[in-house]
Amino acid sequence: MDTIYFGLSTLAILLFLIGMRVPIGVALGVVSILGLAYVRNFKIAFSILRETPFTFAANWDLTAIPMFLLMGAIANQSGISSALFRAARLWFSALPGGLAVAANMASAGFAAACGSSLASAAAMGRLAIPEMLRAGYDKGLATGVVASAGTLSALIPPSILLVLYGVFAETSISALLIAGVIPGILTALAYVVMIIIRCKLNPSLAPPIEQQERTTLRRDRMLALRETWPLAALILGIIGGLYSGIVTPTEAGAAGAALALFIAILQRRMDSRKMIEALKEAMSVTAQIFFVGMGAVMYTRLLSLTGVSALLVDMTAGFAGDPLMIVILLSVIYLILGMFLDPLGIMLITMPVFLPVIDALGLDLVWFGIIVVKYIEIGMITPPMGMNVFVVKSVVGKEVALGTIFRGVGWFLVCEIFVMALLLSVPEITLFLPNLMQ
């Protein structure tokens, strides 16, 4: 068999294995080793298998991942998420759909201390959904806002997906993290506008709060806002440090984890049990990410040896004068993959295939990285396999049907259409902050 056709067939085999629920890291590893053995021989295949774990794990930039994960785990264990939701509830509950707006804004704030969409959706789901349901909110709105707003953690720094993209694309991780700020805020604001308009037009979606509670809210707002100072400190420590150039992404992760631990101890919200849980959570997720990443590195080598990467670059030569067509084509591919595959798997499977194409077209890799993460973010709430939706379902149990949650996120997907159209047509929105760093 021609090596190029063989390389293309491995893509179909890989998707088939993942569709059969084979773990992504295992599927990548098996296809890569057997493919390399076919293209070369088993000696070379096992040589690559032997060296890849060390060379991948020894990448200094990747040390940001366990540090950011540890920071998020400490922040979650120390109660930052609950303080954020309480403050957001007091400040926004007087608006139409105020509790939903509060859940959205609290999720956006928690994203700056978390980095994991699934963790954000789970944390806010436990806090916000029961309160919205008790207040008589529409079940689709209550669950849909938490599932959708949780995806902001994939974009707002610190973002694990952006760090991984920066490593594979060999582009500035600092620029990528900073570039995610405006698109993340823009997405959160689009959600807020949609919630307010819907609840204004249909008040039954979100019954207004009582006047007596409003009076209490006015007394407590400033006190609740003071309780969110740990988040402000973390944002200043991470984004401020990156933007000013004081710390690198790796140093920002370590500094953020140390700062989160110091704040938790200062507030007396961290004990040995919580610290052990935070460490276990960070180590477990880090191991999963690194395992998939090692498989992706080996698969990159297979595609290079079979000539698939060069073939795709040659195929796109005819679109060199119209890169927008390529971006639209890749957008469709990402949206389809997002319906079925794990977000981390989507990125690590597609990067070896698409990055040579984007680089050959001369498109900005920082801008494209934000677009990719946005599409992965959309996939996390897109049926039939939207992972954030299933996380929220696990939180609410039998109280809300899965179909109701998917119906709720539908309105947020409409918002994503407008946000993506804006980001695709005006790249300067994404690149504004990174350009200021130069």
- Kindly tell me if the per-residue pLDDT of 234 is higher than 90: no
Distance between CA atoms of residues 280 and 241, nearest Å: 27
- Dihedral sign, CA of 178, 180, 185, 186? positive
- Residue at token pair 């366990």: 66
What percent of the chain clears pLDDT 90, i.e. is strictly above it? 18
Cite the DSSP H helix spans in 151-180.
160-169, 173-179
Confidence of residue 413 (pLDDT cuts 50, 70, 90): very high
- Give the integer Cα–Cα distance in Å for 122 and 104: 13
Quote the CA–CA distance of 275 and 342 in Å, as a whole number: 28
**pLDDT for position 211:** 46
Residue 81, pLDDT > 90, answer no
pLDDT at 58: 79
Instruction: Provide the pLDDT for residue 290.
Output: 83
Residues 198-225, mean pLDDT to the nearest whole number: 72
| 21 Rama class: left (phi>0) / alpha (psi -120 to 50) / beta | left
For 116, the token pair is: 């994991």
- Residue 183's pLDDT is 95
Quote the CA–CA distance of 160 and 68 in Å, as a whole number: 8
Q: What is the pLDDT of residue 309?
A: 61
* DSSP type of residue 209: P
169-187 pLDDT, tens per residue?
888 888 998 999 999 999 9
Residue 429 has pLDDT above 70, yes or no: yes
* pLDDT at residue 210, rounded to an integer: 58
Instruction: Quote the mean pLDDT of the chain.
Output: 82
Per residue in 215-231, pLDDT (tens digit) is 455 667 667 767 777 77
Q: Which two tokens stand for residue 336?
A: 């389809």
The answer to whether residue 241 scores a pLDDT higher than 90 is: no
Is residue 300 scored above 80 in pLDDT? no
Contact 113, 234 (CB under 8 A): yes
- What is the mean pLDDT of the segment spanning 85-99? 82
Can you tell me the distance from the alpha carbon of 398 to that of 411, in angstroms, rounded to the nearest whole number?
Answer: 22
Q: Which residue has the tokens 């823009």?
A: 186
- Among the residue ranges 71-75, 190-194, 206-210, 314-318, the one predicted with the least confidence is 314-318
- Of 381 and 331, more confident: 381
> What is the Cα–Cα distance from 355 to 165, expressed in whole angstroms?
10
Domain parsing of the chain, residue ranges: 62-270+307-437
| Cα distances (angstroms) measured from residue 62 to each of 55, 56, 165, 293 | 11, 8, 11, 10
- The region of weakest confidence among 112-121, 264-273, 415-424 is 112-121
pLDDT of the residue at 215: 46
Rounded mean pLDDT, 242-255: 78
Q: In this predicted model, what pLDDT tens digit does every residue of 307-357 receive, in sequence order?
A: 776 666 566 555 555 667 777 777 888 877 777 666 777 777 777 778 877
Check residue 341 and give its pLDDT: 67
Residue 431 has pLDDT above 90, yes or no: yes
What mean pLDDT do residues 363-382 have?
89
- What whole-number distance in Å separates Cα of residue 334 and Cα of residue 346? 8
- pLDDT confidence tier of residue 212, bands split at 50, 70 and 90: very low
Rg of the chain on CA atoms, in Å: 22
CB 247 within 8 A of CB 126: no
Per-residue model confidence as pLDDT tens digits over 147-156: 999 889 888 8
Q: How far apart are CA 408 and CA 413, in angstroms?
A: 9
Helical packing angle, 160-169 and 64-77, nearest 10°: 180
Least confident of 104-113, 115-124, 188-197: 115-124
Alpha-carbon distance of 206 to 192, in angstroms, equals 14
Q: Is 84 helix (H, G, I), strand (E, B) or coil?
A: helix
Q: pLDDT digits over 4-17, tens only?
A: 788 878 888 887 88
How many CB atoms neighbour CB 2 within 10 A? 9
| Residues 6+ positions from 298 with CB-CB distance below 8 Å | 28, 29, 32, 33, 36, 48, 49, 52
Tokens 């008790």 -> residue: 134
Segment among 219-228, 284-293, 387-396 with least mean pLDDT = 219-228
For residue 318, give the amino acid letter.
Answer: G
Provide mean pLDDT across the span 400-413: 91
Number of H helices, E strands in the chain: 23, 0
Query: What three-state secondary structure class fits 137?
Result: coil
